[in-house]
Every structure is written in C-alpha cells, then in structure tokens.
C-alpha cells in the first residue's frame, strides 16, 4: 500500500536524477564563476603592473626633461647675469620670464646662504631642507615632492654656477591632470594623485582621471605596496609612492570593475539559464525513464495483485528488455507454478488420496450447496465394519487395497451418483438423484449384496461385512450439521442392529439430542442438588404393618420436567456418571433414613443398585461411610439388584454381593422373572430376598397364568430359604391372593405411591389405619 508521504519509485528516480544534475551543474557553475573571478583579478594585476611601470617611466622622463630645461636655464647668460647682479627685482623679473618658459608652476632663487632672493610665489616660499641642498651640491640637482596650497608639486633644486656657486634655483612643477591623463591614456587604467596624511587624515586628491565614489577615502587609504592590489566592489587598485624620499605623495592606479562585474553577472545569468535548461532536460529524461521503467513495474504489480482472482489475470505485455524482462518472466513462471500448485492443493483438498474419490471436504461443499438449493436427493452411507481389523492383522497396505477395491465397485455400481466420497477411515458416502423410499431401499439392498460379494485382493477373495444406511433429503435433514449427525446416528443404530440396510427414522435425532442434553444436565443435577428421593412403602402380609420403604430417585428437570429414573439411570450408566449418582443417592437416603428414625418411624429401607455398581470397587466404602451407626441396623438395609446385573459379569458381581453381605446388609433380586435366571442359579448367590417383577402382579387377579407363575415362584423361593416380595400391587384382590400364597412383603400403588420424605410420616399413619383390614387373619378365610 502506498502512503501519501512516501515517494514512489518514479518520484525517487526523478528526485535522484534532478538532484544530481542540479548538484553537478551548481558545482560546475560555482567553479566556473570562481575561475572567472580569479582570471579577472589576474588580468587586473597584470595591467596594474604595466601601469605602475609606466607611471614611473612617465614621472622619470618628465623629471629628466625638467632637469635638462632647468640646467639650460641656469646656464643662460642673461639669467646668470641677473643673478650675478644681486638685485632682487632683476632676479625676480628674469625668474618669472624663464620659469614660464620651462613650464614650472613656480620658481625660487636662493642665495648661497640659502635665503630666498626671488620668488614667483605670492605666498611664502616653501621650506627646503638642508639635506636637499647637500644632495644637490653633490649630484648637481635634487628632486623632492611636496604639497603646497593644496596642490602636489615636484620640486627640483639646481645650483647656479658662475663659475663657482652663486646661488640656488628651485622650480616647482605641478603634478597635474595632464600628467594623470597621459598615464591613464598609455596604461588604460585610471590614475589619481594624492597626498596622504593631511590634518583630517584623509588623502588629498590633486588630479584624477575618474569620478570617485563616496567611500573613496577608506578605499584609497590602503597600504602602500608595489605588488599589492586592493580589491573592493568597484575597483582593483594599487597605490605607489611617487618618490623614494619622505614625500607622502602617491599615485593610485585604478581599474574599474564595473565593466568586468557586468560581464561577470552576464555570465552568472547565462550559467543560471544553462543550469535551468539542464535541470529541465534532466527532469524530462527522468520522467521518461521513470515512465518506461515504472510502467512495467506497475503492470507487474497489478498483475501480482490480481493473481488468484477470478477470472485469472492476463500476463502484461512488457516490451522492455534486461532485468525488467527477467522479472516479468520470473513472474509469469511463478504464476504458472502457483496455478499448478493451487490446482494440486485444490485437488488434494477435496479428494481422498487412497481411493481418488471425493473426501470429507468435498462432502461438506456439496452438502452445503444441496441444502442451499433445497435440492431433493438420496444418500447412501457405506461402512466397512472390519477395516480396522484388516489393517491391524494384515497391514495398512492391504487395507488400502480393500478400500480401493470397494471404491471401484462403488464407482461401477453407483454411476449415477452426483458425489462419491470417502468421508471417514472406513466410511463412504454417495449422493444420488431423488427417488422413492422403496426404490432407495431396493437400490441399497442390491448394493449391499454387490459389495459383500467376495472382493479379490492380491488373488485372495475377501468377504467384507458392510453396513449401509440411507437417508432422503431434505425430508430427513435440513442442514449439513443435522445431516451429518443423523447419518452417524443411523450408522450407530445399524452397527448395533446388524441389519444390512438401515434407514434413518424421523425423531431419532431429537431423542438423541435430548439424551445428550440430559447427560450434560445430569451432572449439574448431581452436584447442585437437583435430585430428591421418594419412598414407597413395603408392607408385611401377615401383620399389614409398614416395615420398609423402597428408595426411588426423582429428577425434575428445570426445562424438561419429570425425567423417568429408568431413562436417566440408563444415560448415567452410558456416560460414566452412574457411580457418582449411586454415591449421591446413598448419601441422600442415609440422611433421610436418619430423619425418619428421629421422627420415631422405625422402618428399613431398600436401595436400588445399577448393574454397573456391582463392578464399582468404591461401592462398599460408600455404603459403610453412610450407614455405619444407622439406628435401624445394617440388616434392615436391603440392596435391590436385578438378576441381569448379576448375570453380566457373575464373578465380579458375586464378589461385590459377598462384600455387601459381609457388611450385614440384605440382598434382593429385583424384577425377578424378566431375565433368564432360574431359581437354581439363585441358590449359589448370597441373596436373601426375591422380588417378583410387577409385570406378573399388575393383572394378577385376572391372569391365571400369572397366578401360576407367582404362586410357584413363592413356593420355590421359600423352599430355597428366600423371602419373597411382590411389587405392583394395585388392587386388594392381588393383595389378598399374594397373602393367601404366603408372600412376605407387598408393594404397590394400591397400598401407597412413592412419597417424599415430608409425606412419609403421614403415609405411615394412614397405612396404620388400614392394618386391621390388611392383616392375614382378615383375609385368610376368604382366599384359601
Ligand atoms: P424398580 O426397582 O422395579 O422400581 C419400582 C418401580 O415400579 C418404580 O418406578 C415404582 O414407582 C413402580 N411401581 C411401584 N408400584 C407400582 C404399581 O402398583 N404399579 C405401577 N405401574 N408401578 C409401580 P420408578 O420409580 O419409575 O422406577 C423405575 C425404575 O427405576 C426402578 O424400577 C429402578 O430400576 C430404577 N430406579 C428408581 N430409583 C432408583 C435408584 O435410586 N437407583 C437405581 N439404581 N435405580 C433406580
Ligand atoms: Ca427396585
Ligand atoms: Ca422391580
């Protein structure tokens, strides 16, 4: 995903290229400018060198010219005569004449003792130092520069010989504009003459070939050095002294930078334009490159993103060569490999790798679709009952061959199936077009026969036991989960029943769900006190007295109401909760029995044990813990055990029964007559009581056959030393018959229904009222 803050590939390419170009252009431009500037400076220095030499030359030559004129003058006869006359007025007149001729601005004649004899100046004559006289005396002339009346002068001093020294002549020549112009013209630089060190500290300019800017003083006050050049924004300049002695008169040579700066800026602008042009060009080039590079990359990215979409994307047509082409090729290869792999995965995901039929996923997909479209169809489930035995004994390889053989038979036989799948280790499933229940049954039975015919594997014929189940959709299930659950349920039923073809029966699933719920809720009922006990009186036939009650467990489910103990005890056995349940019942009964004893009701109690309790090692412990010190005494606790419970695992059951017997409790065989045990078998068991099942008693008065059975059972039991209890006594007739046949104890709705503890005392009182009526003396006469 692209964030707006990140430069894309193109952006970065352009930025990098343009940045690089700008950097290079600017560096070259800067270098070029520096070079131009340096060049300019070098040229200026060279020109200043020339100008300097020229200035010296011009000054020297003028001095030489002036000197030669002066020497002509001092040898002039007329002039010498005038000096020799000693008359100041004469000398002055001659001086004025001659000095104008030789071009001097002013002239002086001094006497031998150096006093001024004549002067062309109106102002006082300048002071001439002694050193100058001495030098002039030795060399024949001397030169000095000086400032006078705000003008610069070259002062020349020569002796006047006549022969022998008669006087001195001094002449001042102006350092004037004319001379500056000459130098400027010859050297191509501007020139100015100035005197430094005036009272104001500012140089004083006498002549100049250029107009100077305002800040001239600072500019021209730089150090005096021949080779030095002074830079400032307007000029390159050099200052040189005009004389080697103390004079502070100097010439300043100036080269205006205006023009060169102008040229310089011209170049700057040119270079800027050039750089801009290059940058534009670079940007355009970068854009083009980025487009031509970026386009295929983008195309590939779009392509990669679309891989896996429906319909599959078409590979982009990329014309670029090089790495991009390689990348594109790699992409195409990758996508085709991905497709292959996906194909493979898709196949593996929906197919069984042993038989090549569909697998569980395939079934899930098809059934989802079937239920969505509410498409009617039929299902046949096939289970190989002995596959795990074959795998265990003959090996997985052979097991696989059996599976493959079976799959092939299914393919052949069910060629109209819309789906054939192996949906479990030993389970296949076929979805067939809708047909009538009769046709489905017929087809399933035929298939069963076909599949059970010996299957040749490795030249050995295998006879397989196969269970088939059938369902019709959507009648038998309306969603995939329901379908799967009901199918499994039917498989379970089929395995139990052992029939070849089993059809799902409507309602089975609902029962199943109810059972699941009860199993899970039973646990809560046990742990959270949801169970209570009812007690049904047992009366002595001789006295009509209440001697014992049978404890019967009750569960009122919060949503489902009364749950029959037969139903939930069966579920407790199946879900492994039976020991918890029995333990809990023992505790409840022990509590209740102590309570009624405390109320003065001295009766025994009978407790039902489940078949599975006889295989429970903890049973006797529980009995001991709950009933030792019970006021009624151990012998008055009876445990009712069905005969089938004993027959399931006689050894273990017998061991447990003996242990219970050892505790001193009484043992009773419940529901006698419904199982297969005979009285002779009972002989070997430590039981003291036999309870004739209510099915023989309920209609006793009207069923002569029941009468026969009951009567002989009582006789034989007595013969074996067993007491006999009859349950299910609903009528006085039944009571009277049993009494006549010397049955020992009687129980039934006709006497009392099972009651909760709180009603037990009341029930006992009501029964006591009936005692005289029920006692043996009363009835003996009627039925004998
Ligand atoms: P059972 O041990 O044969 O219990 C006697 C059943 O017969 C009781 O049904 C009782 O209410 C019923 N009955 C008694 N007299 C008559 C009568 O005159 N007419 C009719 N039609 N029925 C009568 P209940 O309470 O529904 O119990 C059914 C079975 O559930 C019991 O059969 C017993 O096998 C089991 N059971 C009940 N309570 C317990 C228990 O606490 N522990 C165990 N392990 N099983 C129990
Ligand atoms: Ca019973
Ligand atoms: Ca019974």
In the numeric block, the tokens 């008169």 are attached to 249
Query: 354: which residues sit within 8 A by CB, 6+ positions away?
Result: 400, 403, 404, 407, 422
Ligand 3: centre distance to CA 639 (Å): 12
Q: What average pLDDT does range 715-739 have in this prediction?
A: 96
> Cβ atoms within 10 A of the Cβ of 454, count?
10
Contact 195, 130 (CB under 8 A): no
- pLDDT the model gives residue 231: 63
Nearest bound ligand to CA 608?
1
Asked whether the beta carbons of 601 and 761 are under 8 A apart, the reply is: yes
- Average pLDDT of the chain, as a whole number: 87
Backbone φ and ψ of 105, nearest 5°? -75, -40
Q: Which residues contact 373 (CB under 8 A, 6 or more apart)?
A: none
| Closest listed ligand to the CA of 693 | 3
* Residue to mutate (ligand 1; options 562, 565, 642, 738; most atoms within 8 A of CB): 565
Expressed in angstroms and rounded, the spacing between residue 735 Cα and the centre of ligand 2 is 18
Question: What angle is formed at CA 256 by the lines to CA 255 and CA 258, rounded to 5 degrees?
Answer: 150
pLDDT at residue 615 tops 80: yes
d(CA 544, CA 764): 12
Pocket test for ligand 1, best of 727, 747, 755 (most atoms within 8 A of CB): 727
Helix 578-598 vs helix 757-774: angle between axes, to the nearest 10 degrees?
A: 70
Tokens found for residue 642 = 């069905």
Q: Residue of the nearest CA to atom 43 in ligand 1? A: 608
Alpha helices in 76-129 (DSSP H): 77-85, 88-102
Contact 256, 234 (CB under 8 A): yes
Positive or negative CA dihedral for 574, 579, 583, 584?
A: negative
Instruction: Tell whether the model's pLDDT for residue 334 goes beyond 50.
Output: yes
Ligand 1 interacting residues, C-beta cut-off 6 A = 536, 551-553, 564-566, 569, 585, 608-610, 640, 670-671, 694, 727-730, 747-749, 754
Ligand 1 atom nearest 730 alpha carbon: 18
- Ligand 2 centroid – CA 554 distance (Å): 14
User: Which neighbouring-strand residues pair with 205?
Assistant: 194
Tokens of 329: 């090729």
Q: What would the two tokens of residue 47 be?
A: 């020109």
Output the pLDDT for position 1.
47
* Cα dihedral 400, 402, 404, 406 sign: negative
pLDDT for 498 = 80
Q: Which tokens go with 58?
A: 């011009």
Measure 552 CA to ligand 1 centroid, in angstroms.
6
Positions of E strands within 338-414: 377-384
Six-digit token pair at 119? Answer: 């002067």
| Token digits of residue 21 | 């170009």
Q: How many CB atoms lie within 10 A of CB 212?
A: 17
Distance 533 CA to ligand 3 centre (A): 16
DSSP summary character for residue 614: G
Q: Contact, 718 vs 738, CB < 8 A? A: no
Which residue is closest in CA terms to ligand 1's atom 42?
608
Q: Are strands 723-726 and 419-424 parallel, antiparallel or unpaired?
A: unpaired
Kindly write down the DSSP assignment for every residue of 616-627, as one continuous string. -TTHHHHHHHHH
Residues 690, 672 contacting (CB under 8 angstroms): yes
Instruction: Give the separation between CA 608 and CA 747, rounded to whole angstroms.
Output: 15
- Give tens-digit pLDDT for 93-149: 888 888 888 888 899 888 888 888 888 888 888 888 888 888 888 988 888 888 888
Q: Would the pLDDT of 9 be above 80?
A: no
| Mutation pick for ligand 1 pocket among 550, 694, 726, 738 (CB with most ligand atoms within 8 Å) | 694
Report the range of poorest mean pLDDT among 264-278, 382-396, 538-552.
Answer: 264-278
pLDDT above 70: percentage of residues in the chain:
94
Going from the C-alpha of 206 to that of each of 192, 250, 251, 361, 389, the distances in angstroms are: 7, 10, 10, 115, 135
Alpha carbon of 567 to ligand 3 centroid (Å): 15
If you take atom 11 of ligand 1, which residue's CA is the nearest one? 754
Note the pLDDT of residue 782. Answer: 44
Q: What is the pLDDT of residue 220?
A: 56
CB-count burial class (<10 Å; 0-12, 13-18, 19+) for 185: exposed
Residue 8 pLDDT exceeds 50: yes
The alpha carbon of 652 and the centre of ligand 1 are apart by a number of angstroms equal to 25
553 vs 267, which has greater pLDDT?
553
Name the packing angle between helices 619-627 and 650-663 (round to 10°): 20
Q: Which residues have C-beta under 5 Å from ligand 2, the single-atom ion?
A: 608, 640, 670
Q: Nearest CA to 539 among 691, 394, 748? A: 748
Helix (H) or strand (E) holding 744: none
142-148: strand order across its sheet: 116-119, 106-110, 165-174, 151-161, 142-148
Please report, for residues 72, 241, 251, the alpha-carbon distance to residue 59 in angstroms, rounded to integers and kept in the order given.
20, 11, 10
CA of 669 to the centre of ligand 2 (A): 9
Is the confidence at residue 268, as pLDDT, over 60?
yes
What CA–CA distance (Å, rounded) separates 653 from 656? 5
Overall average pLDDT of the 420-431 stretch: 93
CA 194 – CA 782 distance, rounded (Å)? 177
Structural contact between residues 91 and 83, judged by C-beta atoms closer than 8 angstroms: yes
Q: Distances from the Cα of 669 to the Cαs of 231, 430, 434, 738, 750, in angstroms?
A: 136, 50, 54, 18, 22
For ligand 2, the distance from its centroid to the CA atom of residue 608, given in whole angstroms, is: 5
Q: What is the mean pLDDT of residues 737-756?
A: 97
Neighbouring residues of 712: CB distance < 8 A, sequence distance ≥ 6 = none
Reported as a single tens digit per residue, the pLDDT across 493-523 is 998 888 889 999 998 888 889 999 999 999 9
Tokens standing for residue 614: 């006889």
> Tens of pLDDT along 662-679?
999 999 999 998 877 667
**Does the pLDDT of residue 568 top 50, yes or no?**
yes
pLDDT higher than 70, residue 784: no
Q: Please say whether the beta carbons of 754 and 552 come within 8 A.
A: yes
DSSP string, 521-545: HHHHHHHTT-EEEEEEEEEETTT--
Per-residue pLDDT tens over the stretch 453-482: 999 998 889 888 999 999 998 899 999 889
Whose CA is closest to atom 31 on ligand 1? Answer: 566
Query: Which ligand has the shortest distance to the CA of 563?
Result: 1
CB-side neighbour CA atoms (13 Å) of 671: 13
3-state DSSP percent of the chain in helix, strand and coil, to 5: 55, 20, 25
| Choice among 234-238, 269-273, 706-710 with the minimum mean pLDDT | 234-238
Q: Are 722 and 689 in contact (CB under 8 A)?
A: yes
Tokens, residue 314: 């078409």
Q: Which-ligand-closest: CA of 640?
A: 2
The answer for 198, left when phi > 0, alpha when psi is -120 to 50, beta otherwise, is beta
With CA atoms as reference, report the closest residue to 356 among 422, 451, 450: 422
Give the max Cα distance, the chain. Answer: 218
Ligand nearest to the CA of 668: 2
Q: What is the mean pLDDT of residues 291-300?
A: 77
Ligand 1 nearest-atom number relative to CA 565: 30
pLDDT of the residue at 455: 92
Q: Would you place residue 2 in the very low, low, confident or very high pLDDT band (cuts 50, 70, 90)? A: very low
Residue to mutate, 608, 699, 747, ligand 1, most ligand atoms under 8 Å from C-beta: 608
pTM of the model: 0.56
β-partners of residue 667 are: 639
| CA 590/CA 635 separation, integer angstroms | 14
Q: How far apart are the first and last CA of the chain?
A: 104
Distance from residue 170's CA to the centre of ligand 3 (Å): 173
Among 65, 125, 70, 124, CA closest to 98: 70
CA 512 to centroid of ligand 3, rounded, Å: 26
- CA-based nearest residue to 538, from 603, 460, 472: 603
The predicted structure's pLDDT at residue 400: 94
């Amino acid at each position: 995903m692209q964030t707006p803050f990140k430069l894309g590939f193109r952006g970065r390419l352009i930025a990098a290229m343009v940045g690089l170009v700008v950097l290079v252009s600017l560096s070259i431009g800067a270098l070029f400018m520096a070079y131009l500037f340096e060049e300019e400076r070098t040229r200026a220095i060279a020109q200043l060198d020339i100008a300097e030499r020229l200035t010296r030359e011009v000054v020297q030559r003028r001095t030489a010219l002036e000197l030669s004129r002066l020497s002509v003058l001092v040898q002039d006869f007329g002039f010498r005569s005038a000096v020799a006359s000693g008359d100041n007025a004469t000398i002055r007149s001659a001086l004025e004449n001659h000095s104008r001729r030789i071009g001097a601005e002013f002239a002086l004649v001094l006497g031998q003792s150096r006093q001024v004899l004549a002067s062309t100046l109106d102002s006082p004559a300048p002071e001439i130092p002694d050193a100058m006289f001495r030098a002039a005396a030795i060399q024949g002339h001397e030169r000095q520069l000086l400032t006078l009346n705000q003008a610069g002068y070259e002062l020349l001093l020569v002796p006047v010989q006549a022969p022998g020294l008669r006087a001195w002549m001094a002449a001042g020549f102006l350092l004037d504009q004319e001379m500056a112009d000459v130098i400027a013209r010859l050297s191509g630089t501007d020139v100015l003459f100035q005197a430094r060190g005036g009272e104001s500290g500012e140089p004083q300019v006498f002549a100049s070939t250029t107009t100077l800017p305002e800040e001239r003083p600072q500019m021209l006050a730089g150090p005096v050095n021949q080779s030095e050049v002074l830079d400032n924004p307007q000029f390159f300049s050099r200052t040189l002294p005009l004389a080697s002695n103390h004079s502070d008169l100097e010439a300043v040579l100036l080269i205006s930078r205006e023009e060169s700066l102008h040229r310089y800026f011209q170049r700057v602008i040119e270079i800027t334009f050039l750089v801009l042009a290059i940058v534009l060009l670079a940007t355009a080039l970068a854009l083009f490159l980025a487009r031509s590079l970026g386009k295929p990359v983008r195309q590939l990215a779009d392509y990669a993103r679309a891989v896996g979409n429906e319909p599959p994307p078409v590979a982009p047509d990329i014309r670029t060569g090089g790495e991009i082409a390689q990348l594109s090729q790699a992409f195409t290869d990758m996508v085709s490999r991905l497709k292959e792999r996906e194909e493979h995965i898709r196949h593996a995901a929906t197919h069984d790798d042993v038989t090549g039929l569909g697998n569980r996923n395939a079934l899930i997909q098809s059934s989802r679709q079937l239920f969505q479209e509410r498409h009617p169809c039929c299902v046949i489930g096939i289970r190989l009952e002995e596959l795990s035995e074959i795998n265990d004994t003959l090996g997985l390889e052979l097991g696989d061959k059996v599976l493959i053989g079976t799959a092939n038979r299914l393919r052949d036989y069910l060629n109209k199936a819309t789906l054939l799948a192996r949906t479990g280790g030993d389970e296949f499933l076929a979805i067939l077009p809708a047909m009538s229940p009769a046709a489905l049954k017929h087809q399933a039975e035929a298939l069963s026969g076909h599949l059970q015919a010996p299957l040749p594997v490795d030249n050995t014929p295998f006879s397989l036991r196969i269970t088939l189940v059938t369902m019709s959709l959507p009648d038998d299930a309306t969603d995939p989960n329901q379908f799967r659950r009901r199918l499994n349920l039917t498989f379970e039923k089929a395995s139990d029943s052992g029939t070849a073809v089993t059809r799902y029966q409507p309602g089975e699933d609902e029962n199943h769900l109810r059972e699941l719920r009860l199993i899970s809720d039973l646990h809560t009922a046990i742990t959270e006190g949801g169970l209570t006990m009812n007690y049904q009186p047992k009366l002595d036939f001789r006295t009509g007295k209440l001697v014992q009650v049978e404890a019967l467990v009750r569960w009122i489910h919060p949503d489902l109401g009364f749950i029959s103990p037969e139903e939930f005890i069966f579920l407790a056995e199946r879900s492994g909760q039976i020991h918890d349940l029995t333990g809990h019942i023992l505790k409840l009964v022990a509590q209740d029995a102590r309570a009624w004893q405390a109320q003065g009701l001295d009766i025994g109690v009978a407790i039902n044990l489940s078949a599975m309790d006889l295989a429970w090692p903890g049973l006797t412990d529980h009995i001991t813990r709950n009933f030792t010190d019970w006021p009624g005494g151990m012998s008055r606790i009876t445990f009712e055990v069905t005969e089938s419970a004993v027959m399931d695992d006689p050894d273990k059951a017998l061991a447990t029964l003996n242990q219970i017997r050892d505790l001193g409790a009484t043992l009773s065989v419940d529901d006698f007559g419904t199982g297969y045990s005979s009285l002779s078998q009972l002989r070997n068991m430590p039981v003291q009581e036999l309870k004739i099942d209510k099915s023989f008693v309920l209609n006793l008065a009207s069923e002569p056959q029941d009468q026969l059975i009951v009567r002989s059972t009582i006789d034989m039991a007595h013969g074996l030393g067993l007491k006999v209890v009859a349950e299910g006594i609903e009528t006085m007739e039944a009571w009277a018959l049993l009494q006549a046949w010397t049955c020992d104890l009687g129980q039934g709705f006709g006497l009392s229904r099972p009651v909760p503890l709180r009603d037990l005392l009341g029930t006992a009182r009501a029964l006591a009222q009936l005692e005289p009526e029920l006692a043996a003396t009363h009835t003996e006469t009627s039925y004998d």
